[in-house]
A and B are shown apart, each in its own frame.
Chain A
């Protein structure tokens, strides 16, 4: 299977108050149901959600951190008795951030495991391939909740009706970056992007945002999905340098984007280098810090957009809750999915987003009442109006609004830590 280690594992959340965060594989649930049974991932004891994400490969940090954040919240909910007496259980599969395994995992989750809903998927190239499956299963009311991607396919017809998003979109992220760069006179914008649906989504966002101001992308270069930090990005740097850019917007994952930042600075590009929230900011920064003696010359130009606030800002209620539960529960990826050599972060933007996703999911499940079933999912979601998640933005869902949040945050690196960017002109003007 193309050098990628596909493993599966059923994670079971905490049984009220147990210190151990997970139970062993629950094989009974992995058995196909007999004909005529209407099992939909809900029993008297639990609600099973299905996840396919990158737990291995160059983007494993994204899947791991997103899961850890979500599990920190679900563990607490389960410890407090679950949702109307039912524990929330995540059934996990590793897709290595590759579309084909993601499709296979989804079929397993829907046909064999019969999960209640899909939750916590990672990546555009994976999710865009899964969406047609949801359309196929539309009679069974299968939805995907809060995927870790800001791409458009799950926000627009023909598949938008099968997905619910919490985070801002890439169109919004790229538009925000473009507007900020233009506001400080940096009009020549180049794009470095992953050669797939994710990269194209961000590229399209930059192109549209620039087009609104009568500007065009001055240079563009791509890299192959799965490129690691050890890859050389000198060719890409040379292509972008020909465009003499005032700023570069990167649409990629942390390994390739860190490699690009390294080679761009080494190659003499002296312009802000921006990344989208998907990049995995802490993973990127860690690669830079560990590989270069003095990180400041590299991080000096770095600016990342985020879809959640800084986890350092304890004035925000969800950040306090997140920080406390991450410390208390310190969730780890189940042993069967754990990769050697990866050390999780105590806190990260990705795990904070996972935490927010889990909190919103728990609220929706709560609104389903004592007898949760898929047919009533949409109805329950659309009762969410001006809901305060504690993140500083009220959240609403409706048939016309299937994305909960819109707010963006920008961060730069100071003393090897991400801090909010307060003044674009002062930093990059």
Chain B
């Protein structure tokens, strides 16, 4: 789990032991506008139904209308594991500090916190658990396939 973030302005980036992707920061456009200007980033709502065309996006933002809208987590998982999206994935909208650990496990690289929220660069909320039971985008092996913990 990343225990650190780096901030550039309002954008926080997860930093884990493997380092991170080269940061990208682009204006985000909704699907129609993005199709006309594919060099921009693509902005998706949590109920979006993206297809393989999104692979070419240099950056994707998922807009959480509320912090308890778990669709954004499934969407991130599908982008990473199903659609082969390998670029920068950012969470926007109602992003709260206690949700960050879910975001990183579902494959987000960066986030912009909701207004009024802030965290330290080594905030414990980034990684409340050293490791987890399930497979995730971040760690594709569930605990029972990691041999050191079953004893």
Is A bound to B?
no
Q: B-contacting residues of A (Cβ < 8 Å)? A: none
B interface residues with partner A (beta carbon < 8 Å):
none
